[in-house]
Chain A
Amino acid sequence: MAYYVNRNLKMTWWERLYLPEIIKGMGITSRHFFLNLFGFIPFLLGTKKERPIMTVYYPEEQVQYPIAYRGRPVLAQNEDGQPACVACGLCEIACPAYCIHIEPGENSGKQNQYERWPDVFNIDYAICIFCGNCEEACPEEAIFMSDDCEISMLDRKQMLYTKEQLLTPVAELQKRIEFTRNMYAKWNY
């Protein structure tokens, strides 16, 4: 079916005059111009924290991403320096892009030791699609999406992060942990 655009817009006499409407439009743009031009002055003098333009000078100036932001997935590291991961492999299965590779390690029956841990835990960020399914699948609160998105490399091989590179202290992830708890509790898992 053809798509018809109604060109017969009813314009008032004032709008047909065209000049007043131009002046109105230029009023809007020049209002923005002067607000932004002179709004900088208190910012530069230091009396005002925020300048009127929302755009930031990106590499020099960064904004706090919202907590729901999905950056690169990282491994949570417990207070005693061990990964919280038990190498169950659920994230490996949940991953739609197959970017996680886990080789589990088990203890030899000694007391006061972790039962299972990942010997090898690789995430290839060149493959990862940042969907967050691993975080959702994890039963041990071990893998989380961080707010870090600056993972560009010159070499594709460097995109493969090993366990040591992935480990992040759990204290740094506290906000995201609480956020995931709230979010997944709502969905009745």
Chain B
Amino acid sequence: MWVDLAITLVKILFIIGVTVGFFAPILTWVERKQSAIMQDRIGANRADILGFTAFGLFHCIADALKMFTKEDFIPDGANKILHTISPIIAVVPAILTFAVVPFGGQYTLFDKEVNLVISDLDVGLLFVFAIASLATYGYVIAGWSSNNNWSLLGSMRTASQMISYEVTMGLTIIGVLMVYGSMKLTTIGAIQEDFFKWGLFLQPLGFFMFLAASIAENKRIPFDNPEAESEIVAGYFTEYSGLKFGMFFMAEFIEMVTIGAIMTILFFGAWHIPFLTTATLLGWFDFLGTTGSNLVVMLIQVGVFFTKIIFFIWLQMTIRWTLPRFRYDQIMKLGWKILLPLSLANILVTGIIILALN
């Protein structure tokens, strides 16, 4: 029992370390540097320690220091309690979704079955969406409690956009569920060991719709109306400063990682390398013994999983720095008039094909 607890604790620490400790700060750097390189600029490189700039990597540390030392400002007339807890409500669900995200398969280490997922829920996929939609409360309360017209506008936009795109997201997921017949993320991941059963091939339309809907859920350009700088200052976090602002920022970046992880598991073959099954990999490293080969394969597959996540983060960044912002009516039109009927049609076609094949 103690061993199980220790393993779970290690997994939790690993996930929090990777998302909060690695991805969240690094992505601020990636955002700046990738936008710079895409636009033929050089990008952030001024922060240095003893003359070393390390391609501007120290800007992450400088950012964190800046956030910590800034004044924590609460405007007059703001509801202090709600104003304080709303960034927490926004950032906790983003981290919490990783509780059910498997970042590797099942391995036998020291005669012990290790499942690389913190909590292998039967309704894992539903859990992800239930928790992710909780974050909306954080954004809405943030705008509502700061006693600012721009914030209120931003939070209203957030609410309407989240509702519109959650519908599409949920209906897209139904197609995936019909194909795989399971809501368990580990099972969905395990089925995709076969390269031709990747969600990308089984649900090509679903892939694009899910990508669009999830970027809209994350409120990044081209769907960044809730925080449109040129229209409503900064939307719901206009009145936030210091670490609270940093938490909203962190929530956005962690959500990017979450989206990458969910897309990897649902559509991109989870932790599997194309045409290489786990059994083949285990066969290659057979000379290391059961534990050794399992350990090597585990490291490889976790690496593959995070490589795929990094690819999706790159994709989201590229989209963010390529496309202009949609107008508000265009967002609503895209959500209700295009994506919703398409996702319904996707379910219909998927159902017909499944019936025909059986």
Interface residues of A (CB under 8 A from B): 19, 22, 25-26, 28-30, 32-33, 36-37, 53-55, 57
Contact = CB atoms under 8 A, between A and B. Distances in A.
Nearest to A33: B38
A36 B323 contact: no
Interface of B: prevailing SS: helix
A36 B318 contact: no
B39 interface: yes
A36 B37 contact: yes
Nearest to B317: A33
Contact of A29 (B42, B45, B321): B321
Contacts of A22: 319, 322-323
B42 A33 contact: no
Given A19-B208, A57-B45, A29 B40 contact: no
Top 4 nearest A-B pairs by Cβ distance?
A29-B322, A33-B38, A36-B37, A29-B38
A55 B38 contact: no
A25 B41 contact: no
A55 B40 contact: yes
A26 B42 contact: no
Given A25-B323, A33-B38, 18 more contacts: A19-B208, A22-B319, A22-B323, A25-B322, A26-B318, A29-B38, A29-B318, A29-B322, A30-B318, A32-B37, A32-B38, A33-B34, A33-B318, A53-B37, A53-B40, A53-B42, A55-B41, A57-B42
A28 B40 CA distance: 12
Contacts of A33: 34, 37-38, 318
Contact of A32 (B39, B42, B208, B319): B39
Interface of A: prevailing SS: helix
Contact of A55 (B42, B318, B319, B322): B42
A55 B45 CA distance: 13
A184 B40 CA distance: 38
B72 to A, nearest CB: 35
Contacts of A30: 38, 318
Contacts of A28: 322
Nearest to A21: B323
Interface string B304-341: 00000000000000110111000000000000000000
9 contacts: A22-B323, A26-B322, A28-B322, A29-B322, A30-B38, A53-B40, A53-B41, A57-B42, A57-B45
Given A19-B208, A57-B45, A36 B40 contact: yes
A11 to B, nearest CB: 14
Interface string B192-220: 00000000000000001000000000000
A52 to B, nearest CB: 8
A34 to B, nearest CB: 9
Contacts of A19: 208
Contacts of B39: 32
A57 B321 CA distance: 23
A146 B39 CA distance: 32
A19 B319 CA distance: 12
Contacts of A54: 40
Interface string B20-54: 00000000000000100111111001000000000
A54 B39 CA distance: 11
B41 to A, nearest CB: 5
Nearest to A58: B42
A133 to B, nearest CB: 36
Contacts of A37: 37
B60 to A, nearest CB: 19
Contacts of A55: 40-42
B104 to A, nearest CB: 29
Contacts of A25: 322-323
B16 to A, nearest CB: 30
